Amino acid sequence: MHTKRVLSGTMLAVQLGLTALIAFGPALPAQAAGVAKFDKAGELVRPQGYREWIYMGAPLTPNDMNNGKAAFPEFHNVYIDPASYKHWKKTGTFRDGTVIMKELVSVGSKQTASGNGYFMGDYIGLEAMVKDARRFGDQPGNWGFFRFTDEKNYDFNAMKTHARANPAANCASCHQASAKQDMVFLQHYPVLRASKP
């Protein structure tokens, strides 16, 4: 065509750029909606500041009710990022980009002034779920599952700073089989149930 011959260098560069964008999509690791950050190797960078997100609840699977070896020992403090919670309140669904953190807390004592029970001790681990259709399009619900926990000593200060997504058999399969909504155990989170439209 006529126009092709009069393309300037700049226009050609723009044209090539557009062609590359259409052919290969935007370069990773640009993240669409969520707060999750991934490194160049595709590992999740340990999120910060999540204790100021929305608190979903605190399920507890203590070792002493699980033959001394619970899969996720003790308390699980669960948080969802604020923008995704806003979306949840509007739609009752988890948006692409949702990040849910599960912080493990040991049982500190079993007695206090008001009686016997389970009381939080120290932070001992951290897990995460990230919903990202582009990264985890081939995973159930498009969720990626991550474990930062130091599995040897449950030392919070020795946790990983970056974590690779777990194979579905390690994490997703159990969530898929038993979680109430979109791989999330809604049955254990009154905060989410009460705010669902």
Which of 160, 162, 188, 196 contacts ligand HEC by CB under 6 A?
A: 188
Q: Which stretch binds ligand HEC (CB under 6 A): 15-23, 40-48, 134-142, 180-188?
A: 180-188
Does the footprint of ligand HEC cover residue 44 (CB under 6 A)? no
Query: Cis omega (within 30 of 0) on the bond before 29?
Result: yes
Does the footprint of ligand HEC cover residue 128 (CB under 6 A)? yes
Nearest to 129 by CA among 158, 105, 98: 98
Contacts of 124 (CB under 8 A, 6+ apart): 73, 74, 104, 105, 106, 149, 154, 155, 156
Q: Which stretch binds ligand HEC (CB under 6 A): 26-34, 89-97, 112-120, 121-129?
A: 121-129
What is the C-alpha to C-alpha distance for residues 70 and 104, in angstroms, rounded to an integer? 12
Does the footprint of ligand HEC cover residue 54 (CB under 6 A)? no
Task: Quote the Cα angle for 95-99-102, to 5°.
Answer: 135
Residues of the shown chain interacting with ligand HEC in the complex, contacts defined by CB under 6 A: 59, 61, 71-72, 76, 78, 100, 102, 127-129, 145-147, 166, 170-171, 174-175, 179, 184-185, 188
